[in-house]
Amino acid sequence: MSESTSVPALELKGVTAGYENTTILRDVQLVVPAGSVVALIGPNGAGKSTLLKTVSGLVKPTSGTVQLFGEDVTELQPNRRARKGLCHIPEGRGIYKRLTVRENLLMQADAGDEEGAIERATEAFPVLGKRLQQLAGTLSGGEQQMLSMARTYTRDQRLILVDEASLGLAPIIVDAIFAFLHRIVAEKGTSLLIVDQFVHRALDMAQTAYVLNRGEITLWGTSEELSNMDVFAEYLSSH
């Protein structure tokens, strides 16, 4: 096995983190092997979004380490992590509603690659190409999510964190979002850490999955193992 495939895209070791005086994540261990898809599952308030923010650097651990592609990035700011090929698609989409679609795409592009970035993004989502001059806030929910996803095409991303991309969208749009994610993985071999209310869809895409409960990883395994577990089936049936 070559080094590039054996070094994980992401490794959290003993991560404890939270906000000001509240500890949310406790001693979290999690690995995203290079080129693989990992699902992070858990009830509302479990700390899934906090975990993704800890990966992208918006939340700093009080103990433990975050490694990206074999490098300790625990002390690095979010923009420095982004430059290493980390892309966080946050819950709520993280787009600038008062900027145009084109301006939103430009914000994500690398210097000197602005036109190329727009070309690749609108190729992936042709509907955005027709809306370049429109304010992002006037797009439909599905189009806003596409704009949020388009940033994965503006740079050469190596690990993408996707937080609740399907929230509030019509089933047909959810299909398109998942098809897009499948395409990125198949075409570019990008690694994904995905949080989604449609647990079955996330598990179908993923090779491994982790269950987070009250900030602790309480269960992990291959997606297949987890889908077959009684305790897990019970959890799934209530979601």
Provide the binding-site residues for ligand ADP, judged by CB under 6 A.
19, 22, 24, 42, 44-50
Which positions from 20 through 49 interact with Mg ion, judged by CB under 5 A? 48-49
Site for Mg ion in 99-138 (CB under 5 A): none
Distance of closest approach, residue 90 Cβ to ligand ADP, in angstroms: 10
Q: How far is the CB of 47 from ligand ADP (least distance, A)?
A: 4
Q: Collapse the DSSP code of 148 into the 3-class scheme (helix H, G, I; strand E, B; otherwise coil) and give the result.
A: helix
* Smaller CB separation from Mg ion, 91 or 119: 91
Cβ–Cβ under 8 Å, residues 158 and 191:
yes
- C-beta nearest to Mg ion: residue: 49
| 194 strand-pairing partners | 39, 162
What does 42 bind: ligand ADP, Mg ion, none (CB cut-off 5 to 8 Å by kind)? ligand ADP
What is the C-alpha separation between 184 and 12, in angstroms, rounded? 24
59 vs 105, beta carbon nearer Mg ion: 59
Instruction: Report how far residue 53's alpha carbon sits from residue 201's, in angstroms, rounded to the nearest whole number.
Output: 22
163, containing H or E segment: strand 159-163
β-bridge pairing 22-32 and 216-222: unpaired
The pair phi, psi for residue 19, each rounded to 5°, is: -125, 135
Cβ 28 to ligand ADP, closest distance in Å?
12
Does residue number 54 form part of the binding site for Mg ion (CB under 5 A)?
A: no
Report in angstroms how near the CB of residue 132 gets to Mg ion at its nearest. Answer: 30
**Cα separation values, 155 from 107, 179, 204, 226, Å:** 11, 20, 26, 34
Smallest distance from ligand ADP to CB 234, Å:
19
Of residues 8 and 47, the one with the C-beta less far from ligand ADP: 47
Q: Which letter, b or e, does each residue of 22-32 get, where b requires 16 or more Cβ atoms within 10 Å of its Cβ?
A: eebbbebebbb
Compute the half-sphere exposure of residue 173: CA atoms within 13 Å on the CB side of its CA: 16
Compute the least distance from the CB of residue 178 to ligand ADP, in Å.
Answer: 19
106 vs 219, beta carbon nearer ligand ADP? 219
Question: Binding pattern to Mg ion, positions 84-103, x when CB under 5 A?
Answer: -------x------------
Binding footprint of Mg ion on the chain (CB under 5 A) = 48-49, 91
